[in-house]
C-alpha cells in the first residue's frame, strides 16, 4: 500500500515539476517530458498493466493541470506505459533499468507517444504531418531521451546494476 | 461465463489498455463539459501554489534574450510615450471641438505570470489572480505590447490563460490602416495567421492588425501584431497573411486582465442565429 502511495506522491511532484521547472529549460519551444520518463521507468519496474494504468492517471492529471485537450495526454501516456511495459521482465528489472536498454525503450516509447500526441494536437493548425512528426515529435523525443540519461546513471550507480 | 473470465484474465493487459483508451477518447469529446471545468479549477488551484513559489526562477536560456528585448522595448516605448502625449493633447482638443465624451477606460487588474506551460505545444500561462480578484473565464488578457490571450480556467486565486499561440485561440481582427476584417489564429509556429483575406483585398507587409469591433470577447483596437508575410497560392481565393505578434511571449512577466465578460444577451442571440442557419 505504501509503495502505491509513494508512486502517487512522486507522480504529483513530477507533474508539478513538469508544469513549472521544466519550462525553464525549454529550447526553442521544445521541452523534455519528465512524466514520460517516469511512466516508462514504472512500466519497466512494475509491469505492463501498472505501467498502463499509471500512464493514464499521470496523463489525465496533467491534462487537467494544463487546461486544454483533456484526454490527449491520458491517451498517449497510456500507450507509452503499455509499450514500455511490453519489455518488462521480472528477473531482469535491474539490468534493464540500469543499462542502455532503458534508454532504447525510453526512446521508442517516447517517440510513439510524441508522434501520436503531436499528430492529434496539431490537427486544425498549419503544422503538417511531417512537421508534427519531425519538428516536434522527434525533437521532443531526443530532448526527453537526453534527460533520461540522468535517472539512468543514478540508477546504475545506486543499484549496482 | 467462466470461459469469458479466463479470456479476460489471459489478455488483461489488452483489456485494460482498451478500456483506458476508450475513457481517454470519451474525455476528449467532453472537453467543454461543465463538470470537467470544475475539476480543472481544483487542479489549477493546487498547481498554482507551486508555480507561484517557483516563478522567481527565470529561464536560463531566455535571460540574455529577455534583457536585449527589454532594452529595445524601453527605447521604443519612450519614443511612443512622447508621441502619444502629443496625440492625446490633440485628441482632447479635437474631441472638445466635436463635443465628444472621453472614451471610457478598460477595467484592468494587474497580474504576474507565474507559470508558462509551453510544454507539448499547450501554450498557456498561469496568472496569480483568480475569482477573488473578479477574474472569470473568457476575460481578455493584455500587456503593454498588445493582446496576450484570454482566460480559460480560474480557481479562487489563480487563472490559466490561453495565449495567441494556442491551437484553440481565435479572435476577430482588422487591419488598422483600412479596416479589412479577418480572424486571427495560431499558424503552428511563431506567427499567427489572419484568415479570410481575399486576394483582391489590400493588405501589406508592415500593416498593424488590431482587434475588431465584431469581437464579443476582446475590446476593440487592441494591438495584435504586424503583418510580416503575405503568400498568394495559385488556385486559392484567399491570401495567407502571417502576423508577428506584438507580444513577446518568451519574456512575458506581467499582464492585465480586462474585467469584462462577453455580453450574455449578444452571445445567446448569436448562438440562436447561427443555430438557425
Q: Domains of chain B: which residue ranges?
A: 63-167+252-260, 170-247
pLDDT at A97: 87
What number is the average pLDDT over the span B212-233?
A: 88
Whether residue A43 lies inside any domain: the answer is yes
Whether residue A13 lies inside any domain: the answer is no
Residue pLDDT, tens place only, B21-33 = 999 888 887 776 6
Shortest Cα distance, chain A CAs vs residue B21, angstroms: 6
Residue bearing cell 539490468: A95
Question: Residue B204: is its pLDDT beyond 60?
Answer: yes
- The answer to whether the Cβ–Cβ distance between A125 and B47 falls below 8 Å is no
Closest CA to A60 of A32, A29, A81, A31: A81
Question: Which pLDDT band, with edges at 50, 70 and 90, does B238 fall under?
Answer: confident
Better-predicted residue by pLDDT, A22 or B264:
A22
Question: Residue B200: is its pLDDT beyond 90?
Answer: no
Whether residue A6 lies inside any domain: the answer is no
pLDDT at A67: 66
* Nearest C-alpha in B relative to A131: B188
Question: Residue B61: is its pLDDT beyond 70?
Answer: no
* 3-state secondary structure at position B118: coil
Enclosing H/E stretch for A69: none
What number is the average pLDDT over the span B196-225?
A: 88
Classify A59 in phi/psi space as left (phi over 0), alpha (psi -120 to 50) or beta: alpha
Distance CA B39, CA B30 (A): 13
Residues of A in contact with B45 (CB under 8 A): none
DSSP code per residue over A111-147: HHHHHHHHHHHTTTSS--HHIIIIIIIIHHHHHHHHH
The number of angstroms, rounded, from the C-alpha of B8 to the middle of its chain's C-alpha atoms is: 47
Residues of A in contact with B121 (CB under 8 A): 29, 118, 121-122, 136
Question: Which pLDDT band, with edges at 50, 70 and 90, does B276 fall under?
Answer: very low
For B:101-130, CB contacts with A below 8 A are 115-122, 124
- The answer to whether the Cβ–Cβ distance between A65 and B186 falls below 8 Å is no
Better-predicted residue by pLDDT, B7 or B20:
B20
Whether residue A19 lies inside any domain: the answer is no
* Nearest C-alpha in A relative to B26: A71
- The answer to whether the Cβ–Cβ distance between B122 and A66 falls below 8 Å is yes
Residue pLDDT, tens place only, B151-169 = 988 888 889 898 998 888 8
- The answer to whether the Cβ–Cβ distance between B39 and A75 falls below 8 Å is no
Q: Going by C-beta distance under 8 Å and a sequence separation of 6 or more, which residues neighbour residue A70?
A: A60, A63, A64, B27, B28, B30, B31, B36, B40
Give how many domains chain A has, as a whole number: 1
Say which CATH architecture domain B170-247 belongs to: Beta Barrel (2.40)
Whether residue A72 lies inside any domain: the answer is yes
pLDDT at B25: 86
Distance CA A105, CA A102 (A): 5
Give the residue numbers spanning the domain of A105: 33-159
- Tens digit of each residue's pLDDT, chain A (161 residues): 588 889 998 998 888 888 777 877 878 778 899 999 999 999 999 999 999 999 999 999 888 877 667 888 999 999 999 999 999 988 888 888 888 899 999 999 999 999 999 888 887 777 788 888 888 889 999 999 999 998 888 888 887 65
Superfamily name and number for B63-167+252-260 = Rod shape-determining protein MreC, domain 1 (2.40.10.340)
* Nearest C-alpha in B relative to A64: B40
pLDDT at A29: 74
| Number of inter-chain CB pairs under 8 A, A vs B | 152
Enclosing H/E stretch for A153: helix A139-159
Lowest mean pLDDT among A8-17, B76-85, B129-138: B76-85
Residue bearing cell 518488462: A88
pLDDT at A161: 56
Better-predicted residue by pLDDT, A55 or B236:
A55
**ipTM metric:** 0.86
Closest CA to A78 of A14, A139, A35, A135: A35
- Against a cut of 0.80, is the pTM above it? no
Residues of A in contact with B162 (CB under 8 A): 67-68
Amino acid at each position: 500500500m505504501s509503495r502505491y502511495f509513494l508512486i502517487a506522491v512522486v507522480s504529483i511532484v513530477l507533474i508539478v515539476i513538469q508544469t513549472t521547472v521544466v519550462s525553464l529549460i525549454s529550447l526553442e519551444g521544445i521541452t523534455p517530458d519528465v512524466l514520460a520518463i517516469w511512466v516508462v521507468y514504472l512500466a519497466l519496474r512494475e509491469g505492463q498493466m501498472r505501467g498502463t494504468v499509471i500512464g493514464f492517471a499521470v496523463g489525465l492529471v496533467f491534462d487537467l493541470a494544463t487546461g486544454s485537450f483533456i484526454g490527449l495526454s491520458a491517451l498517449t501516456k497510456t500507450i507509452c506505459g503499455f509499450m514500455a511495459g511490453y519489455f518488462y521482465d521480472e528477473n531482469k528489472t535491474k539490468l534493464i533499468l540500469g543499462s542502455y536498454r532503458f534508454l532504447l525503450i525510453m526512446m521508442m516509447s517516447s517517440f510513439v507517444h510524441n508522434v501520436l500526441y503531436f499528430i492529434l494536437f496539431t490537427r486544425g493548425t498549419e503544422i503538417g504531418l511531417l512537421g508534427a512528426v519531425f519538428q516536434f515529435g522527434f525533437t521532443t523525443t531526443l530532448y526527453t531521451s537526453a534527460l533520461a540519461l540522468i535517472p539512468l546513471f543514478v540508477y546504475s550507480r545506486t543499484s549496482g546494476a | 461465463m467462466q470461459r469469458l473470465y479466463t479470456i479476460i484474465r489471459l489478455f488483461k493487459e489488452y483489456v485494460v489498455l482498451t478500456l483506458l483508451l476508450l475513457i481517454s477518447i470519451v474525455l476528449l469529446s467532453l472537453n467543454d463539459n461543465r463538470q470537467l471545468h470544475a475539476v480543472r479549477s481544483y487542479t489549477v488551484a493546487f498547481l498554482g501554489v507551486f508555480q507561484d513559489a517557483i516563478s522567481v526562477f527565470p529561464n536560463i536560456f531566455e535571460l540574455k534574450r529577455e534583457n536585449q528585448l527589454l532594452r529595445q522595448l524601453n527605447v521604443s516605448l519612450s519614443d511612443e510615450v512622447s508621441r502619444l502625449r502629443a496625440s492625446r493633447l490633440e485628441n482632447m482638443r479635437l474631441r472638445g471641438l466635436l463635443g465628444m465624451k472621453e472614451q471610457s477606460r478598460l477595467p484592468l487588474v494587474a497580474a504576474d505570470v507565474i507559470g508558462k506551460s509551453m510544454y507539448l505545444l499547450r501554450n498557456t500561462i498561469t496568472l496569480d489572480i483568480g475569482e477573488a480578484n473578479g477574474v472569470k473565464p473568457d476575460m481578455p488578457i493584455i500587456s503593454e505590447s498588445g493582446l496576450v490571450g484570454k482566460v480559460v480556467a480560474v480557481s479562487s486565486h489563480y487563472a490559466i490563460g490561453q495565449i495567441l499561440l494556442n491551437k484553440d485561440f481565435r479572435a476577430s481582427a482588422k487591419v488598422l490602416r483600412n479596416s479589412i476584417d479577418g480572424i486571427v489564429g495560431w499558424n503552428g509556429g511563431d506567427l499567427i495567421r489572419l484568415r479570410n483575406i481575399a486576394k483582391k483585398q489590400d493588405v501589406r507587409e508592415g500593416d498593424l492588425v488590431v482587434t475588431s469591433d465584431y469581437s464579443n470577447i476582446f475590446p476593440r483596437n487592441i494591438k495584435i501584431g504586424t503583418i510580416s508575410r503575405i503568400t498568394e497560392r495559385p488556385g486559392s481565393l484567399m491570401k495567407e497573411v502571417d502576423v508577428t505578434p506584438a507580444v513577446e511571449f518568451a519574456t512575458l512577466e506581467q499582464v492585465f486582465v480586462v474585467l469584462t465578460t462577453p455580453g450574455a444577451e449578444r452571445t445567446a442571440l448569436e448562438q440562436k442565429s447561427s443555430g438557425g442557419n
